[in-house]
Structure 1
Amino acid sequence: MTMRRLAVALALIAPAAFAAGCATHSDAGAAPMKEEEYVGAIFASTDKGEPFLKFADDGTYSGSDGCNGLRGTYEVGDDELVLNPGLSTLRACPGIDTWVRNATSVKLDSDTLVVFDKSGSEIGTLARS
């Protein structure tokens, strides 16, 4: 089985398995994260430089800090996506706040992507566009 077919099979099976697990587990906290709420959406800022992040269904993400391009992979957590940064350009960006480069996890709050750094501190937000 090719990796693509395996990914498609897992994409079809995972939601059913996830739903079955949730049906027997009660959690008083936040609702479980749904990967499809992230995939294909672009989350962007209206700030100077317009940073953005976009998540693909193959477990990768891409974006920009407003100056440099970013790429990496993500893993689905209980209520967040954990980012594994990969390649990035390293241009000098005078006047641009490159905060999104420090992102290590994100959570969706309605149509707002809340971005966290490695210490778990919120470092910014991006709106669904």
Structure 2
Amino acid sequence: MKTVRIAAIVLALAASATLAGCSSSAPASSVAPTPTPSPSTAAPGTVGDFAGSWGTVQPGQPSLTIASDGDFNGTDGCNALAGTGKLDGDTYVFGPFASTLVACEGVTPWLNLAATATVADNTLTVFRTDGTQIGTLDKR
């Protein structure tokens, strides 16, 4: 328990150093119909089309960077998050991840609810554990 608390404090300090404000009057990313995923062409041990940077780097807006090995980091627009995931067919599966828990006025922190994602037409579509689409991020 003490290790978890220390890790959370370290992550919170790192996030507070990198986040330059949490409030935004901009609405959360729009939720659109689910596009058809692209067939996976990922090399073994990589996450293929999912690797890269997604979303916009602006205060109050979600963004995510996924490394080719599945590790990811980003922000839900307010809270920093980091973890690792893997490819399962044409779906990226978010593994356990750490997130800060800052309350930010005007920000809808949907990215911290991510369970899976698909890619189609340079758009990352993110889903909850129940399969409900919760948002999209465009590749940058």
Partner of 1:72: 83
TM-score by length of 1: 0.70
Are the counterparts in 2 of residues 85 and 104 from structure 1 also a CA contact under 8 Å?
A: no
Q: How does 1:84-99 map to 2 (within 5 A)?
A: 84-99=95-110
Q: How does 1:33-72 map to 2 (within 5 A)?
A: 34=42, 35-39=47-51, 41-45=52-56, 49-72=60-83
Residue 31 of structure 1 and its aligned partner are, at CA, apart by 2.1
Partner of 2:133: 122
Q: Secondary structure at the match of 1:37?
A: helix
More helix by share: 1
Q: Secondary structure at the match of 2:108?
A: coil
In structure 1, C-alpha distance between the alignment counterparts of 2:111 and 2:54, rounded to whole Å: 11
In structure 1, C-alpha distance between the alignment counterparts of 2:59 and 2:72, rounded to whole Å: 22
In structure 1, C-alpha distance between the alignment counterparts of 2:41 and 2:133, rounded to whole Å: 18
Identity over the aligned pairs, expressed in percent? 34
Q: Secondary structure at the match of 2:124?
A: strand
In structure 2, C-alpha distance between the alignment counterparts of 1:33 and 1:121, rounded to whole Å: 25
**CA distance 1:70–1:32, shift in 2 (3 Å):** same
Gaps of at least 5 residues in structure 1 are: 1-28
Greater RCO (Cα-Cα under 8 Å, separation 6 or more):
2
Are the counterparts in 1 of residues 125 and 137 from structure 2 also a CA contact under 8 Å?
A: yes
Equivalent residue pairs, number: 100
**CA distance 1:33–1:50, shift in 2 (3 Å):** farther
Are the counterparts in 2 of residues 48 and 96 from structure 1 also a CA contact under 8 Å?
A: no
TM-score by length of 2: 0.65
In structure 1, C-alpha distance between the alignment counterparts of 2:137 and 2:82, rounded to whole Å: 17
Gaps of at least 5 residues in structure 2 are: 1-36
Larger radius of gyration: 1
